[in-house]
Every structure is written in C-alpha cells, then in structure tokens.
Amino acid sequence: MMRRLSQLLLRGLLALLPLALTVYLLWALVVWSERLALQLLRPFIGEVYFPGLGLVLTLALILLAGLLVSSQAASRVLGWIELPFTNLPVVKSIYSSLKSFADYFAPHRHDRPAQQVVVVRPPGAEWEVVGLVTRQHTHGLPAGFLDGDRVAVYLPMGYMIGGYTVFVPRAWVNPIAMSVEEAMRQSLIAWMAPGASPPPAVDPGRRARPQEPSR
C-alpha cells in the first residue's frame, strides 16, 4: 500500500513539476516587467496604471528593437553601442560568446546556410551521436587543424547546459529531418521517450514455434 502511494506521489510530482516551473517563470517575467514599467513610466504617467502595462511595454520594446536592428542605419548605431562590450577584456569574452550563441539560433538569412541537425557516425562504428553543424569548413582557423573537408559539430550534453565541439570529416555526418529546437530539447532529456515501453527481450537461442492449425 505504501509503495503504491509513493509511486502515485512521484507520478503526480513529475506531472505537475514542469507545469509549475513554467507558470512560475512566466509569473516572474510578468512581475519583473511590471516593476520595470512602473519605474520607467512613473515620471510620465503618474498614478495612471493598469495591470499588464509592464508586459505590454516589454513586448513593445522587443518589437521596437527587432525593427531597429533590421535597418542598416540602426545596425551601425548598434555596432557603436557594442564597442565597449567588444573591447573590454573580460566583458568581450562573455558578450561575444552569448551573442554568437544567440545569432546561431536566430532565423537564418538568405546569405548563410540553414541550421542543420546531423548524426555523427564514424566509419565502422556501431554507435552514433546527434549534433548541430556550427561550421561548414575550417577556412580561417589557425594552423594545427587536420586537413581535408571537415565540419564543426556541436554535441550537446544531457541534463546540463554544455557540450563539446568536434571537427570531423564531412563524410561522417548524415543530416536528419529534425529542427534545432527539437534536437536541443531531446538532448536535454537524454533522448528519453516519455510513456514508451521498450520492446520485450527475445532470447536469441530460442526459435519461434510455428502455431498449430486450429481444429
């Protein structure tokens, strides 16, 4: 009886935990945006306020930023604003890494290849790993890399933020029909299939017996 209750409690926790965390993160975002809106708009609107104004302001600022960076003039201004972040020693490393990561997941332009999910399988190997192609060639890299037609593949790790980048021959990679978002989500949960039960084990020493005809 106690074992049954513990199993039910665990299943209920696993079912409600993702929902609770998602609602909490959304609630925290709304509260933060509301407080920011009050601080920024209080000198202009005084006591005039309605619930949701902070969220509307946040969405408006994001849309405005998207419109601005789409124009060439605003891109130049943004480049000037980025100068302190791209020249300070420690800040440069953090900002450049975050910007490169965000640019990779941004909608690709017509002048650069689409993001690609691949399976890496070395010749003769019985194992394979899913990764994201982050570089289609080794041109421009410093000396010391192996020669040949090689690509850079990012291999995300499960249950944590991190991974490895490997340079492998192009012949080792095989593109698969999967979006980058789905590949990252599956890697985060170690490619577990919720609700799927493994097929029954079959003893290789046993042979299937033919069914007897019904009488």
The residue ranges of every structural domain in the chain are: 2-81, 116-188
Instruction: Show the DSSP H helices in the chain as ranges.
Output: 2-45, 53-70, 72-81, 83-87, 89-105, 180-188
With CA atoms as reference, report the closest residue to 130 among 169, 199, 185.
Answer: 185
SS3 163: strand
Confidence label for 130 from pLDDT (cuts 50, 70 and 90) = very high
pTM of the predicted structure, to 2 decimals: 0.51
Radius of gyration (C-alpha) of the chain in whole angstroms: 26
Average pLDDT, integer, range 153-171: 84
| Model pLDDT, residue 205 | 52
Cβ(103)–Cβ(134) below 8 Å: no
pLDDT surpasses 70 at 62: yes
| Model pLDDT, residue 196 | 45
With CA atoms as reference, report the closest residue to 103 among 142, 75, 137.
Answer: 75
CA distances from 119 to 36, 131, 167 (A): 44, 6, 13
Confidence label for 111 from pLDDT (cuts 50, 70 and 90) = very low
